[in-house]
Amino acid sequence: MTTLMDKPTTSTKDDGSARSLVDAVFRAREISIAGALALLVLGTWIANPRFLDDQGVKDLLLNASILVLLAVGQSVVVVTRNIDLSVGSVVGLSAFACGKFVAGTDHGVLTVMLLGIALGVVCGLVSGALVSFGKVPALVVTLGMLYIIQGLDYWWAQGEQISANDVPDPVLGLGSGSVLGIPYLPLIALALLAATAYYLRAYRSGRELYAIGSNPEAARLAGVPIRRRILGAYAFSGAVAGFAGALWLARFGTVVADNAHGWELTVVSAVVVGGVAITGGTGTVWGAALGALLLTTIGSALVVLKVDSFWQGAITGALLLAAITVDRIVSLRMTAALRKRSARHGNGA
């Protein structure tokens, strides 16, 4: 990560060297995740060749699309050393609101998408304002928002269900259509993934998110507008969750109040397994997307292999614990390396 100082000191150079080492470790993790994913797909295909037929591949891509989107939004928040546990409830609210809005009408796809994004942005701004300006811990704020949004959704729905028969055909076509045999939803997820990765790498404001997560105090001294950046990160996460809710409606047609219930933990697991450090400052959205793809593929593979679905949760938990352990080991080793280098330079002086 590029430093924000014009003339790096020896300590800053050491930090940059250590950071490069850590980044290399996390890139290695991304490669290992891709390898594990390939082995999982290959093993399941050997056990059941239908796993990779045309419909099987489409199902894998469609099942992963929404989780990949949510992982991208969550990653932007996590790199700032925060978390957003409200994304699942935002998806549910957005899906139901969009379904209610278009039911029995001829509203187009763009209107539905904009509505979902707007709802998500509002939810994200509320969470972001409380975290950045109110100084309330992110875990407390977003957990509270999760229950508030769920409560509003249940109160509004009153047990009502939006049927696919009431949703306009163009909206349903977005969830079921394809181009050159590739469904629209994976292409949308890939486009957002690539755009977000480019922004985080190429724009100063994107790199500042990593600076905040790496060392908030140093970022403040370097003139980074921490509150605005965190607020923006939450607004983006909310917008992506709201957008995912609109796509949920397009994908399934039939929606109820508790859509995506419990997904917030799956999203966090995908992000952390994908190499985005829960302590902030490290990781990429590409890794988070790989983590999401791995978790959804595990679920699909267990179904194909006729294994009890209980094991999906157990495997996800084991992967999450392993990822956090790796993050902690890398962090401790980086700190030790920095101390040794500082001591050497101090003795040399």
What does the domain layout of the chain look like in residue ranges? Answer: 17-339
pLDDT tens by residue, the chain, 349 residues:
444 444 444 444 444 555 555 556 556 677 878 888 888 888 888 888 888 888 888 888 888 999 999 999 999 999 999 999 999 999 999 999 999 888 877 778 899 999 999 999 999 999 999 999 999 999 999 999 999 999 999 898 888 888 888 888 888 888 888 888 889 999 999 999 999 999 999 999 999 999 999 888 999 999 999 999 999 999 999 999 999 999 999 999 888 888 888 888 889 989 988 888 888 888 899 999 999 998 888 888 888 887 776 777 787 777 778 777 776 676 666 666 657 766 666 555 4
Residues β-bridged to residue 255: 162
Per-residue pLDDT, 27: 63
Nearest-angstrom CA–CA distance, 122 and 120: 5
The predicted structure's pLDDT at residue 114: 94
Dist. CA 94–CA 100, nearest whole Å:
10
**Alpha carbon distance 324, 333 (integer Å):** 14
In this prediction, residue 6 carries a pLDDT of 41
Output the 3-class SS for the chain. CCCCCCCCCHHHHHHHHHHHHHHHHHHHHHHHHHHHHHHHHHHHHHHCHHHHCHHHHHHHHHHHHHHHHHHHHHHHHHCCCCCCCCHHHHHHHHHHHHHHHHCCCCCCHHHHHHHHHHHHHHHHHHHHHHHHCCCCCHHHHHHHHHHHHHHHHHHHHCCCCECHHHCCHHHHHHHHCEECCEEHHHHHHHHHHHHHHHHHHHCHHHHHHHHHHHCHHHHHHCCCCHHHHHHHHHHHHHHHHHHHHHHHHHHHCCECCCCCCCHHHHHHHHHHHCCCCCCCCCCCHHHHHHHHHHHHHHHHHHHHCCCCCHHHHHHHHHHHHHHHHHHHHHHHHHHHHHHHHHHHHHHHC
The CATH number given to 17-339 is 1.10.3470
Q: In this structure, what are the phi and psi dihedrals at residue 284, rounded to the nearest 5 degrees?
A: -130, 160
| pLDDT confidence of residue 72 | 96
Check residue 342 and give its pLDDT. 63
Q: Confirm if 3 and 12 have CB atoms less than 8 A apart.
A: yes
pLDDT of residue 230: 96
